[in-house]
């Protein structure tokens, strides 16, 4: 082979080599817990006034009801996972599932409507978050099994007859995967989903567009690494592909200002849903920030939905 051809091949390889390296770096930043401090028990965006306010309100809620709280833990897929259980004397509990980067401290913020319903409240450090073990975030494709284990704990140890789920962002995906799993027990009754997306691929692309970043090649390599290390096909699988398997009631809570899970995208998920369902729109609020912009209406919506189910 002529020397000039070798030169061209070398130039192409050197030119393309940074792309998979940069792709893995981005994947690692987003979905790999590289240290115990990462995704720990603190406010994930402390410089954001609105987000910090949500976090502080949640901490105040915990302090107000600390006497009802006890630490709990399970083992799922070999990982020790930890949580906190607020026992308000009911035989019904909610499991609050936070999104990426958040510990159980973040979930306190969403607990009040369920306390008003009289439910007990379980907040959890998701796998690879807070004080729970784990390294990779699999975007619900493995974490849903953790939710089923938490349900077993509530049912078997705390004698809970009914369990509902409240998921935020990726947490709503995790909850949906749990409720549509063939092995999901009957005592899981329903869920509320804030910021449900079609697929993580679509949400990731929306993030890039909103940040004025090029969609490719970052998307290709991040999706590839999710498949390799997370065991998840987030391009061809996700809520929009699983929602038609749901047999339990679901409440969708969504902001018209959400640019990461766009209104037309959640409408697609909602339209494919065949179970009892309700979609409630809120005019204000970024992704995962619906309640802070309309707390009374948010809580009334949640309370009304679950009271209607008579769980």
Domains of the chain, CATH where assigned: 32-198+238-309 (3.40.50.1820)
Q: pLDDT by residue for the chain (311 residues), tens digit each?
A: 453 343 333 333 334 446 777 888 889 999 999 998 999 999 889 999 999 999 999 999 999 999 999 999 999 999 999 999 999 999 999 999 999 999 999 999 999 999 999 999 999 999 999 999 999 999 999 999 999 999 999 999 999 999 999 999 999 999 999 999 999 999 999 999 999 999 999 999 999 999 888 888 889 889 999 999 989 999 999 999 999 999 999 999 999 999 999 999 999 999 999 999 999 999 999 999 999 999 999 999 999 999 999 78
What does the alpha-carbon distance between residue 7 and residue 10 come to, in Å, rounded to a whole number?
A: 5
What does the alpha-carbon distance between residue 179 and residue 164 come to, in Å, rounded to a whole number?
A: 10
Q: Which residue, among 170, 171, 158, has the nearest Cα to 95 in the 3D structure?
A: 171
pTM over 0.75: yes
DSSP result, 248-262: S-EEEEEETT-SSS-
Q: Look at residue 120 and give its three-state secondary structure.
A: strand
């Amino acid at each position: 082979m002529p020397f000039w051809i070798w030169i061209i091949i070398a130039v192409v390889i050197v030119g393309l080599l940074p792309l998979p390296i940069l792709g893995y770096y981005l994947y690692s930043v987003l979905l790999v817990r590289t240290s115990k401090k990462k995704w720990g028990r603190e406010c994930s965006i402390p410089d954001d006034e609105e987000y910090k306010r949500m976090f502080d309100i949640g901490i105040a809620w915990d302090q107000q009801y600390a006497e009802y709280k006890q630490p709990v833990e399970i083992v799922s897929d070999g990982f020790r996972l930890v949580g906190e259980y607020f026992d308000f004397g009911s035989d019904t509990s909610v499991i609050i599932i936070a999104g990426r980067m958040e510990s159980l401290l973040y979930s306190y913020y969403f607990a009040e409507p369920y306390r008003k319903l009289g439910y007990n409240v379980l907040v959890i450090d998701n796998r690879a978050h807070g004080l729970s073990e784990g390294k990779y975030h699999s975007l619900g494709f493995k974490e849903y099994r953790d939710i089923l284990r938490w349900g077993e704990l509530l049912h078997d140890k705390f004698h809970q007859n009914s369990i509902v789920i409240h998921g935020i962002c990726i947490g709503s995906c995790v909850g949906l995967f749990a409720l549509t799993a063939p092995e999901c027990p009957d005592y899981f009754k329903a869920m509320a989903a804030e910021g449900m997306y079609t697929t993580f691929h679509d949400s990731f692309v929306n993030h890039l567009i909103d940040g004025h970043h090029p969609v490719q090649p970052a998307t290709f390599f991040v999706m590839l690494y999710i498949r390799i290390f997370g065991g998840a096909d987030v391009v061809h699988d996700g809520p929009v592909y699983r929602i038609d398997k749901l047999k339990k009631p679901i409440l969708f809570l969504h902001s018209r200002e959400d640019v990461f899970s766009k209104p037309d995208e959640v409408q697609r998920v909602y339209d494919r849903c065949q179970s009892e369902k309700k979609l409630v729109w809120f005019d204000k609020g970024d992704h995962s920030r619906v309640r802070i912009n309309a707390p009374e209406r948010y809580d009334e919506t949640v309370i009304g939905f679950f009271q209607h189910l008579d769980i």
